[in-house]
């Protein structure tokens, strides 16, 4: 339990700490929320490429390829929608915190290898999806005003929840 | 060069043979039913219909990410079914019934074979 707490992903810590800040995820507008989601997708794609480069575990490779495939598809769909709405995603404090947290984590994971890397990657994927899914479900979806953006987030949440289950299973399979 | 000239002729011959002997062509009655299983919102949505050998199952991917329909024992596998794509399987005796999506293992399904 203590170990799980200690390995909480930096991106998750970023999400948790912003609530104490003057700014809150609940105050973001639709275009800022879109930017956070696009950033979160891109971060997970980055982790996946790192996993493909570092891991030799077939289960990790299968999962990482799915992350690249699915998160790229979601981002592609988001860009098509933004184009249709003649809008651009807006950078914001949360996107910046997520990116900064992921930079540190990539640096940390780059120093690991073998089973140690596999375990860190799997545990982070589980915790990352869990925290982002919670944010999307409890904060973003209720606050999004545009119905098409809201529908996209609802569809994406179904995908990300499947990823969360997959990651949870991966953590169990790898063991501690 | 020779290969380029020969290739189209081979394709035409193969097509002609396929048309001539395809069992669904004129004069042949269709064997079995076509059962469509939608892949939608990360679920295999099957009609409430028993399936028997000779039927054809068609998986249609209505999500915007690829999926697979793969037997748990790997005895049959669709490979990647693209968004809006589909894959067919003719049901044989003893077909392995439990299946899942390799990309998203929490997605599971079962071919509900009729007991004769």
Contacts of A159 in chain B (CB under 8 A): 42, 63, 65
Chain A residue with CA closest to B65: the answer is A70
Count Cβ atoms within 10 A of the Cβ of residue A143 and give its class: 0-12 exposed, 13-18 middle, 19 or more buried: middle
What pLDDT band is residue B14 in, cutting at 50, 70 and 90?
very low
Mean pLDDT confidence for A12-35: 74
Tokens 């699915």 belong to which residue?
A: A70
For residue B57, what pLDDT is reported?
97
Query: Is residue A66 within 8 angstroms of chain B, CB to CB?
Result: yes
Contact A166 B104 (CB under 8 A): yes
| Closest in A69, A158, A169 to B42, CB measured | A158
* Dihedral over Cα of A101, A103, A108, A114: its sign: positive
For residue B115, what pLDDT is reported?
58
Using CB atoms and an 8 Å cut-off, which of residues 72-131 of chain A contact chain B?
73-74, 77
For residue A15, what pLDDT is reported?
53
Q: How far apart are the first and last CA of chain B?
A: 56
Whether B2 shows a pLDDT value over 50: the answer reads no
What percentage of residues in chain B have a pLDDT greater than 70?
72
Q: Taking a C-beta distance cutoff of 8 angstroms, is the pair B106, A166 a contact?
A: yes
- Token pair recorded at residue B29: 């009655």
Alpha helices in chain A (DSSP H): 2-6, 10-18, 30-54, 58-84, 93-110, 114-135, 141-143, 147-174
For residue B6, what pLDDT is reported?
44
Q: Which residues sit opposite B88 in a β-bridge? A: B58
Q: What is the pLDDT of residues A74-87, one digit of tens each?
A: 999 999 999 999 99
What percentage of residues in chain A have a pLDDT greater than 90?
85
Q: What is the pLDDT of residues B47-74, one digit of tens each?
A: 888 899 999 999 999 999 999 999 999 9
Query: Is residue A162 within 8 angstroms of chain B, CB to CB?
Result: yes
Contact A162 B64 (CB under 8 A): no
Q: How many CA atoms lie within 13 A of A155 on its CB side?
A: 18
Contact B65 A169 (CB under 8 A): no
For residue A106, what pLDDT is reported?
98
Q: What is the mean pLDDT of chain A?
A: 90
| Closest in B63, B102, B106 to A165, CB measured | B106
Mean pLDDT confidence for B66-84: 98
ipTM above 0.85 for this complex = no
* Dihedral over Cα of A77, A79, A84, A88: its sign: positive
């Amino acid at each position: 339990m203590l170990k799980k707490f200690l390995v909480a992903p930096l991106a998750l810590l970023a999400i948790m700490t912003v609530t104490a800040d003057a700014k809150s995820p609940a105050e973001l507008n639709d275009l800022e929320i879109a930017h956070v989601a696009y950033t979160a997708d891109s971060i997970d794609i980055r982790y996946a490429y790192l996993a493909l480069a570092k891991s030799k575990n077939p289960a990790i490779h299968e999962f990482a390829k799915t992350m690249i495939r699915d998160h790229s598809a979601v981002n592609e769909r988001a860009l098509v929608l933004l184009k249709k709405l003649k809008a651009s995603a807006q950078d914001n404090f949360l996107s910046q915190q997520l990116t900064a947290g992921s930079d540190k984590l990539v640096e940390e994971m780059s120093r690991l290898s073998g089973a140690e890397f596999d375990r860190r990657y799997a545990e982070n994927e589980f915790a990352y999806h869990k925290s982002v899914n919670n944010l999307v479900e409890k904060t973003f979806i209720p606050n999004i005003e545009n119905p098409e953006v809201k529908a996209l987030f609802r569809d994406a949440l179904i995908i990300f929840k499947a990823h969360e289950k997959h990651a949870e299973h991966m953590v169990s399979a790898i063991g501690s | 060069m020779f290969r380029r000239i020969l290739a189209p002729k081979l394709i035409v011959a193969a097509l002609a043979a396929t048309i001539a002997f395809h069992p669904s062509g004129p004069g042949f009655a269709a064997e079995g039913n076509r059962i469509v299983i939608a892949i939608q919102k990360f679920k295999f949505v099957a009609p409430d219909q028993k399936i028997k050998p000779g039927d054809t199952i068609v998986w249609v991917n209505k999500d915007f990410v690829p999926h697979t329909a793969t037997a748990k024992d790997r005895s049959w596998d669709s490979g990647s079914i693209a968004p809006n794509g589909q894959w067919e399987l003719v049901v044989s005796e003893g077909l392995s019934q439990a299946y899942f999506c390799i990309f998203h293992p929490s997605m599971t399904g079962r071919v509900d074979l009729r007991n004769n």
